[in-house]
Amino acid sequence: MATDYYGVLGLARGASDSDIKKAYRRLARDLHPDVNPDPGAKERFQEVSRAYQALTDPDKRRIVDLGGDPFDSGAGAAAGSPFGGAGFGGLGDIMDAFFGGGVGGRGPRSRVRAGDDALIGLELDLEQTVFGTTEDITVDTAVLCGTCSGAGTAPGTHPTTCTTCSGRGEVQSVQRSFLGQVVSSRPCPTCAGTGQVIPDPCPECGSEGRVRARRTIPVKVPAGVEDGMRIRLTGRGEVGPGGGPAGDLYVEIRERPHEVFTRDGEDLHCHVALPMTAAALGTTLPLTLLDGEETDVDVRPGTQAGTVLTLRGQGAPRLRATGRGNLLVHVDVQTPTRLDAEQEKLLRELAVLRGEDRPGPSAEAHGGLFSRVRNPFK
């Protein structure tokens, strides 16, 4: 069923333009997100702004009065002329295509238009993106004018009907052509197609219905977000001209590099330096996790350089699922570069015991495929 836009503004059908504007200003003043932090107020403000758009545009209001919804893609065809429908405009659109203007006029357009979206970057540490956080951001955007509540007029004054177009929002001209006289329409240059002029503009916004202001907005960052992702804050962007509904604010996450851990999706990576002796004999390696907790990593005897040890469930939380990724610990075996006399003696004795005092080329490594085939027959 079509939305009752009169009921959204608390008005009866047939309400005057003045009553509609008064109702919108009153509701917008109470429900705007800048003054009312209640989450439900934001949705209610969007409904009120949508109803104001529907009832202040003559074409849209005509569809509402006929029982349709002007924001429904099929409403225009249902309530319009027989030339309406998918893929076709009205008769005026057809004449526009040939002669550059309509024959019956489109009426004035609303001063109220939707605002633009805004984008701002937010730098976070790896711990904040992995485990989530709430951060305050400061943005400079257009907000609803507090003096005129979006009307654009000075206190105590109202818009007047444009004398150039008599409130139609467009002017017509007659041109002679080989087809005869052709009547074309264009937006009124005096009122920019709105059908109204503001003789006494609001001193704060200069008839725009919005002003620039700096706001501090809390942003809840969910656990598991990644670098480059965007968080959408509905209705927190730019307020539109004439106090129209605000666009959305997008917060783009920028993740700072961490000195120990790197990230690959839901998995974390880190490198640990392991002495040659510890790699040969095995050891228990203490490790501080990203959340500050301590854990022990078991290193088996004979661990080779480049070995990756997996700590399951110690990575980043999955953003749209349960559980966490893994922590991958890369082992870097360190070979000593400086030995004293006693250490060198002991290593040489170990090399003799293992038969490694005179290493040579490995047949398996350098002999190629046929050497490996011949080995079993030796």
Identify the three-state secondary structure at position 89.
Answer: coil
Look-up: residue for tokens 């501080």? 288
Residues 6+ apart with CB under 8 A from 359: none
Residues paired with 273 in a beta bridge: 332
Look-up: residue for tokens 């990593």? 297
d(CA 281, CA 171): 93
270 is in an annotated binding site: no
Laid out side by side, the sheet with 249-255 consists of 118-124, 249-255, 230-233
Amino acid letter, residue 326: N
d(CA 47, CA 23): 13
Look up residue 278 and give its two tokens.
Answer: 């510890």
202 is in an annotated binding site: yes
Identify the three-state secondary structure at position 310.
Answer: strand
Strand residues in the chain grouped as ranges (E):
118-124, 133-144, 160-161, 170-177, 180-187, 196-197, 210-221, 230-233, 249-255, 262-264, 267-275, 283-288, 294-299, 308-311, 327-334
d(CA 207, CA 181): 39
d(CA 310, CA 313): 9
What CA dihedral angle connects 73, 76, 78 and 82, to 10 degrees? Answer: -130
Residues flagged as binding site: 145, 148, 162, 165, 188, 191, 202, 205
Residues flagged as binding site for Zn(2+): 145, 148, 162, 165, 188, 191, 202, 205
